[in-house]
Structure 1
C-alpha cells in the first residue's frame, strides 16, 4: 500500500468489528493502525539491504512469519493475517470482496501503560518483575532452536559503522563525542581480534540461538506476566545471535534508564536459570555486547537527528545519541581497565 492509501484506510476504511477510535503510528518499515479492540500492522513496500518487503507476496510471507515467531513469547496478542482489499475506491480489511492489494497482521490491543519502558519511567518496576522476566527469557532461550551452522556476524564492521556519524556528532555534541568514537573503535577492534576463539567456542557450545532479536523495554509488556513482543522477522541474521548479545541489549537498556540495579539483577537471575556466562571471558564478552548495543543506539539516534523535521526532534535525538555514547564509553572503560 501507499501512504495515500493508508491515510484513506485510516480515515474511512472498513475493519472487522468495532473500529473506533483510530490512530496511525508510522515506523520506517511499517504502518500500525490502532482500531477499536485490534491493532493492524501493514508492512511498507520497501527494499533495504537488510529486508525486502517489495512485493505483496513477500509482505504476506513476513506477516505470517511475524505471527509465528512472536507466538513463541506472547499469549493472545498476535491473532492472524488479514487481507486488505480495494472495492469501489474503499479500502477494506478482512472479507473476500474486491481487489486484493495487501495483508495486515492483526493483534489484540494491549494497554500501553503496561509497556516496560513506561513502567520504568514511572518507577513502577519491582524486583519481582525482573525475576519473572529473567525466568521467561531464560526459558525461551533454553528451548529455542540452536544455530550451529551460520557464519558468525561481522561485529567489527557493525561496530565501526558508527564512524560514519563522527563528523555530524562532533559538530553538534562537541569534540568529546569524536574522541569517544575513536577510542571505542580502537577498543572494539582489539577486543574482537583477541577474542576470536571466544566467539567461535560460544557458537560451538550452542549459545547461538533463534532469539527475539530486538529485546528492550519498549518491546515488553508486563501484564503483570512478561510478554516480549515485536521480535525481528525480516532478517534471520539479526535474530539468530548469541543469547548473551540478546540479553545485553535489555541490560544496556535498563542501564540507559538509570536502573543498573535491575540490569545486574536480571543478569544474575538469568544466569542462574540458564548458565551462559560461566567465566571471566564470557563476562567480558557480555560487557562488549553491551557496548555494541549502546553503539547501535547512538548511531540510530544520530541518523534520526540528521533527518529530523523540527529543531525539537533534532535536539531530542542528539540528547539520546549523547546518552548512548557516554554509556558505550563506560563499557569501553571497563574493557580497558
Structure 2
C-alpha cells in the first residue's frame, strides 16, 4: 500500500521526458535517443530498442490517469500484440528517478512509471512510408491478408454486437463540432452534422443485420487499429500496436477491422490496392456476403475516417501551434463525406 500511495503522487510530464532524453540512462545502447509523440504516448527510439511511455491522461475512451492503470495497460499491450508478432514486444520495464535524473529499465532510483520495451524495426520498411513512394504491390497486400485471415479465424469470438455503443463511438466526433467549425469553417461543421444523421439512420435500419453478424461469428477480438503506420513490410509483414486501452474498440466486426485498412490505403490514393485486399481477403475468408453487408463495409470506412479525423483534432487541440493536424483532420473529414455519399448511392439502389 505504501508503494502504491507513493507511486500515485509521481507523474511524468513533457519536461521529464526531455530530461530523460537529454541526460537519462537506458538499459540498452542509446547514443542519440529520438522522441516521437502521439496524443496518448511518448515513444523513445534508441539504437536497437524502443520504449513507449503512456501519457497520464483520461479521455472518454481511455484512462491512463494513474501509474497502476499505465502499468496494467503496458502489460496488456505486450500480451495482446504477441498474438500477431513474436520477438518484437520484449516486456514491461520501470521508469525511475534518482534526484534530477531519469532512467528506463535500470535499477537506479525509485520507480515512478512504466514503459513497454520493444525491438526497433527499420523505419524504411514502414508501410505508410512505402505507400508514399509507390513501393507497395499486390504481393505485399496478399501477405498481409493471409496473416490477418489466420489471426482473425483463431481469435476470440463474441456473439453479441453492441449497436448502441457503436452509435456512441461513431457520433463521438460531434463533441468537436464547434471547434471544427471555428477552425475549419462552417462547411466542415455541416459534414459532421450530416454524418451524425446518417450514422443514426443506418444503424437503426440495420440493427438486425449487425446482430446476425454477431451470431454468425463475425465479431472477434481483433487488432482494432489496423492501418499502414502499424505495419512493417519485412520478409513477413509485422502487424503491431493493436488497441490495448479499451477492449470495446478491439472486439469488433471483422468488416470494421478491414475497413480501417482499406480506408487507410485509399487515404494514400491507393484505391486499387484496397480493392485487391478486399477481394483477396473476402475470397479466402468470406465476411462480406451481399450488397447490404458491402454497405456496412462502406459505413465502417466512413467511421474509420471519422476516427482518424478525431485523433487529429485531439492532437490539434493539445498543440495549438501545429496546423498540420487540422489539415489532416480536414482531409479525413473530406474522405468521410465521400464515403457517406457512396453509402447514400448504395441505399438508393
Match of 1:282 in 2: 293
Q: Does 1:32 align with 2:26?
A: no
- Say which of 110, 117, 120 aligns to 1:106: 117
Is the 8 Å Cα contact of residues 163 and 203 (structure 2) preserved in structure 1? no
Deviation at residue 83 of structure 1 after TM alignment:
2.0
Equivalent residues in 2 for 1:45-84 (5 A)? 45-84=56-95
Q: CA deviation at 1:307?
A: 4.3
Q: What do residues 65-101 of structure 1 show as CA deviations (whole Å, max 9, x unaligned)?
A: 1111111112321111112233344323224343222
The structural deviation recorded for 1:119 is 0.4
Aligned match for 1:325, one of 317, 333, 340: 333
State the distance in 2 between where 1:309 and 1:172 align. Answer: 11
1:87 aligns to 2:98 (yes or no): yes
User: How much has 1:172 moved relative to structure 2?
Assistant: 4.4
Q: Determine if contact 1:75/1:227 at 8 Å carries over to the other structure.
A: no
SS at match of 2:245: coil
Match of 2:258 in 1: 247
Q: What TM-score comes out, normalization by structure 2 length?
A: 0.89
User: Deviations 1:173-224 (Å, cap 9, x if unpaired)?
Assistant: 4444344333322222221111000111111111111111111111111114
The 3 A distance-change label for structure 1 pair 247 and 220 is: same
Task: Provide the secondary structure at the position in 1 that maps to 2:171.
Answer: helix
Query: Residue 114 of structure 1: CA displacement?
Result: 1.0
Range that drifts further, 298-307 or 36-45: 298-307
- Equivalent-residue separation in structure 1 for 2:98 and 2:316 (angstroms): 40
Equivalent runs, 1:116-127 vs 2, <5 Å:
116-127=127-138
Q: Which residue of 133, 157, 165 maps to 1:154?
A: 165
Moved more, 279-288 or 175-184: 175-184
Shift of 1:242: 0.7
> Which stretches in structure 1 are left out of the alignment for 5+ residues?
none
CA distance in 1, matches of 2:313, 2:56: 25
Name the residue aligned to 1:229.
240
Tell me the distance in 1 between the aligned counterparts of 2:183 and 2:99. 51
Are residues 336 and 149 of structure 1, via their aligned partners in 2, closer, same or farther at CA, if it must alter by over 3 Å?
closer
Which portions of structure 1, spanning 4 or more consecutive aligned residues, are displaced by more than 6 angstroms? none
Hey, what's the Cα distance between the residues in 1 that align with 2:314 and 2:111? 35
